[in-house]
Amino acid sequence: MLRIVVCSGTLLALVAFLRWQLNRTFENWGFGWGATVCIGIMLSCFFIAYLFDRADTRSREEQPRARRDFR
């Protein structure tokens, strides 16, 4: 239960920080660069999620059995 609370709080803090930073980016650099930064962050999040999913899937795969014939 504590793990869920800590992970949820961390995720909420990360989302709030990204929102604050993206708002500052849009205000300071304008729409074009703000959208570019937003798309870059989104693509990097997708890539990280893909790597986590791939690692999780590979860790659940059954490993091939060693051959008993060692000639």
Residue-wise pLDDT for 43-71, tens only, equals 998 999 999 999 888 877 676 777 776 65
H helices present in the chain, as ranges: 2-29, 31-60
Helix axes 2-29, 31-60, angle to 10 degrees: 150
Model confidence over 3-26: pLDDT tens digits? Answer: 899 989 999 999 999 899 989 999
**CA 10 – CA 4 distance, rounded (Å):** 10
For the entire predicted model, the pTM comes to 0.63
